[in-house]
Structure 1
Amino acid sequence: MTMDKTRVKCYSVADYEKQAELKITDTAALGYFNGGTEGTETLRDNLAAFSRYKLRPRHMRDISTINTKQRVLGCDIDFPVVVAPFAFAKMAHPDGEYAVARACAGMDTAFTLSSWTSKSIDDVTKESSTGVKWLQLYLVKDRRVIVNVVRKAERHGFKAILVTIDLKIPSNRLTDKRNQFTMGNSELLRSPNASIDDTDQFHLLSLSWDDISWLKSITKLQVAVKGVMTREDAIEAVQHGVDGIVVSNHGGRALDCVEASIDALSEIVEAVKHSGVDILMDSGIRKGTDVIKALALGAKAVMVGRPIVWGLAVDGENGVKSVLEILKNELRISMGLCGCQSLSDINQTVIKKSTSSRL
């Protein structure tokens, strides 16, 4: 039996990132997945910001059992790391969203299908009939399209809708422009009555909180808004009946020069702490210690995007499962070394912000 000497064992998300850069040979596709907006200040700070927070371990505690289970947006998952929506997974691997959905089901966590998917809801559900599935939506101009998509998601057992609110106009992604990258058509936002074939249709300039109230009125699915970065928007979201808030700067792909998501998290948690709304966070999660820091600051779960792309590119479904396993294992280790037996033990006493300006 011969061994594949080209296969490199990946022990961390960083290892997968390095291998994915070798696997994704299309420069435009790699630039799309890894790129940010304008000077990429926010993209870089999303990573650097985690080093500004330090953990405060407590010792001599019983950690013979460690429980990572969580309930978020009405769904029970095995650990508080869910897959964020990302466009056109097929550019990373031929199995695309099929592989990601199956991996999430296998790891007992939530998969979020992007509006800019290369697979249809019907096909994704057929390929992965089990597991928790959420749907990411842009609220486009034609409400008939939205109603059709929501009804289809309901029929196929999706549990929640995440509305992206931070991209009302196209962002200035210079890497994509230099690579002449163009978005294809969405396989999701099509219906017998109407379809979206123009990216301008995705950028609803008149989008307001009333549109969230309307969406809540047409479905019993959990509705969360993704892209909240201020206490003011968090309060507005709660007032308009959302079930969840995703603190997110779009992975540094929307407006540049905004705070890292981890830095904005505490302000938003404090603003809505008595509302019962679930808070999630994305942008910059690469390690188990990142996860525990986000939970300590008040998030119920985190979302990961680029690490999933890298796992997918390297080894399809198995690569995605491996990335999720790495993050879950690192979280368990971090919890144990911090003296936390369950997620409820992770709170603000576990963390402090460094006073040093050096990373």
Structure 2
Amino acid sequence: MPTSGISRVVDLEKFVGDKLPYFLIDYFATGGGDEQTLVDSVNAFKRFRLKPRVLQSKSETNIETKTQGQSICSPFGIAPTGFQSLAHPQGDVATAKAAEKAGVIMIVSSWTCLRFETIASSAPSAVLWMQLYPYADRRHTLNFIRRAERSGFQALVVTVDSPQIGIFARSIRSGYEAQDQFDSVLPNGLLNLEAAPEETEKAKASGDKYLFQYLKQQISSAAADWNYIAWMKSQTKLPIILKGILTAESAREAVAVGVHGIIVSAHGGRQLDGVQAPIEALPEIVDAVRGSKVEVYMDGGVRSGRDVFKALAIGAKAVFIGRPIIWGLAHDGENGVTEILDMVRKELVNTMALCGCNKIEDITRSYIRHQSELTCKL
């Protein structure tokens, strides 16, 4: 049942303060540096204006589409977010069940507090993609790939924007209370790191903080390059999707190495601060890969079905939602996530009808303009 008095996705954020302690809210909400990119990723959507056409809408609006050859009910899905069990006891299982019910993609974070196999078995009909990093020790990478294949995941999402972990100002301000809380869940949050047993067991035996340092060393590695991505592609038949590309130059290199998709993303504003908002970087990426078979997606700052429409109009194949999913999860578990997804779906259908689009294929750049291109002639 929808929450009383809630009509927009952003309205649900105010309930999170009653559900989570401040330091967990800081963890999920924080951005990197001065949080310029975090704030601008939301605001940038407002700089795109819709251009509706009249007398074109029909009685039914179809928002079904395909990504990587897989049919999905809606052109939006759930971005990877770690430590979801801190937001709700059922964590990723609740989110996966909501995704299954809505018929949308869920990208499962490698920083989940649950085993990948547990999440997959809890929602057997869900379209699940596995997020991972190009780990310094390739045994970890290969272990994730094989488990994704065995568990029925349908794509691999490789985060490529993290040669170092971002500096989160709000989390630092939260201090020792927050650190103690995270230390208590780190063994669960990193339980999927099971390859290289001589190293991982040593890290676990040495204490939680050392274990976290080991993980950061595996992620923050100079070992990752385009040859690494080519090696990953040679190890599996699953689609390889790169998450964290913001420039045409990197997009063209991704095409050259043969990946199947790109997620235009600034890591939720949690990595390099001061980069372009993903929605404004999206046109450059779409144009750079035009003519190839690479599908382009985006995440970052998505707060409504109108935002989804704008990204689709620019050329995104699908759009992924991050923090609002955590708001819904913290508010009411699976039902809260379902509520978020349902609001986005209704807003998207409404926006399409009002703009004169009857199906996803109708949405093109002719329905959108950046405010910098608008002129007023008297």
- Shorter-chain TM-score: which interval? over 0.9
Q: Does 1:314 align with 2:309?
A: no
Hey, what does 2:368 align to over in structure 1? 351
Hey, what does 2:208 align to over in structure 1? none
Instruction: Give 1:204 shift.
Output: 1.5
- Could you tell me which of 2, 5, 18 is aligned with 2:14? 18
Moved over 4 A (4+): none
Tell me, yes or no, if the aligned pair for 2:260 and 2:294 is still in contact at 8 Å: yes
Hey, what does 2:110 align to over in structure 1? 115
CA distance in 1, matches of 2:26, 2:102: 29
Tell me, yes or no, if the aligned pair for 1:74 and 1:222 is still in contact at 8 Å: no
**What SS does the corresponding residue of 1:279 show, helix, strand or coil?**
strand
Deviates more, 1:72-81 or 1:238-247: 72-81
Q: Does 1:208 align with 2:225?
A: yes
Tell me, yes or no, if the aligned pair for 1:146 and 1:189 is still in contact at 8 Å: no
Q: Does 1:30 align with 2:37?
A: no
Q: Does 1:328 align with 2:354?
A: no
Hey, what does 1:170 align to over in structure 2? 165
Tell me, yes or no, if the aligned pair for 1:121 and 1:188 is still in contact at 8 Å: yes
Instruction: Give 1:63 shift.
Output: 1.9
- Could you tell me which of 244, 248, 270 is aligned with 1:227? 244
Hey, what does 2:257 align to over in structure 1? 240
Instruction: Give 1:19 shift.
Output: 1.0
**What SS does the corresponding residue of 1:179 show, helix, strand or coil?**
helix
CA distance in 2, matches of 1:238, 1:223: 11
**What SS does the corresponding residue of 1:355 show, helix, strand or coil?**
helix
**What SS does the corresponding residue of 1:233 show, helix, strand or coil?**
helix
**Aligned AA (2:142):** V
**Aligned AA (1:231):** A
Instruction: Give 1:338 shift.
Output: 0.2
* Count of equivalent residues: 351
CA distance in 2, matches of 1:148, 1:301: 28
Tell me, yes or no, if the aligned pair for 1:169 and 1:205 is still in contact at 8 Å: no
Instruction: Give 1:187 shift.
Output: 2.2
CA distance in 2, matches of 1:35, 1:283: 13
- Could you tell me which of 62, 77, 80 is aligned with 2:75? 80
CA distance in 2, matches of 1:151, 1:236: 26
Q: Does 1:296 align with 2:313?
A: yes
More helix by share: 2
Deviations 1:222-245 (A, max 9, x none): 110000000000000110111000
Deviations 1:69-101 (A, max 9, x none): 111123211011110000100110000000000
CA distance in 2, matches of 1:219, 1:356: 44
Instruction: Give 1:189 shift.
Output: 2.1
Q: Does 1:46 align with 2:41?
A: yes
Q: TM-score, normalised by structure 1?
A: 0.94
**What SS does the corresponding residue of 1:134 show, helix, strand or coil?**
strand
Mapping for residues 101-140 of structure 1, pairs under 5 Å: 101-140=96-135
Q: TM-score, normalised by structure 2?
A: 0.90
**What SS does the corresponding residue of 2:372 show, helix, strand or coil?**
coil
RMSD of aligned residue pairs (Cα, Å): 1.7
- Could you tell me which of 138, 141, 150 is aligned with 1:146? 141
Unaligned runs of 5+ in 1: 1-6
Instruction: Give 1:267 shift.
Output: 0.5
CA distance in 2, matches of 1:222, 1:356: 37
CA distance in 1, matches of 2:130, 2:12: 26
